[in-house]
């Protein structure tokens, strides 16, 4: 007997995880505490495991599709998305300073967001409006 759950159990779980990731990514578009693009990429991964139809929809969505395809094809992040991510992380950290959060929290934020910024900034560049050969 296999240790893996049957597909009729695992597919809905993957689809729900994809939906939650996508919802958090959408919230992250308006709330600087959540990173939109990584959550949308995670949603695409989860949908790929649980719902090919939802995966296809997400890949072909005019807003979410291009960053997913760029990431999967090249591991690249467009410069405008890199800049936006770093600015949002910096704004979140500054807001935490203004709100007077404890030094312990500020150190944790600085380490986590510093690492995330470094990762984002060291990914290859790809233009966000790259034209596909037709």
The pLDDT tens digits for 88-110 are: 889 889 999 999 999 999 999 99
Please tell me whether the overall predicted TM-score, pTM, comes out greater than 0.75 for this model.
no
pLDDT in tens, 44-59: 999 998 888 988 998 9
Query: Is 69 in contact with 55 (CB distance < 8 Å)?
Result: no
């Amino acid at each position: 007997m296999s240790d893996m759950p049957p597909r009729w159990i695992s597919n809905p779980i993957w689809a729900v995880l994809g939906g939650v990731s996508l919802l958090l990514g959408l919230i992250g578009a308006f709330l600087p505490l959540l990173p939109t693009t990584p959550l949308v990429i995670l949603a695409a991964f989860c949908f790929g495991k649980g719902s090919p139809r939802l995966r296809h929809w997400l890949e072909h969505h005019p807003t979410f599709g291009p960053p997913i395809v760029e990431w999967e094809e090249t591991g690249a992040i467009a410069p405008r998305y890199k800049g936006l991510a770093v600015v949002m992380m910096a704004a979140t950290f500054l807001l935490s300073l203004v709100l007077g959060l404890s030094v312990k929290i500020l150190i944790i934020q600085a380490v986590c967001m510093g690492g995330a910024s470094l990762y984002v900034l060291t990914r290859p560049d790809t233009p966000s409006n790259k034209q596909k050969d037709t």
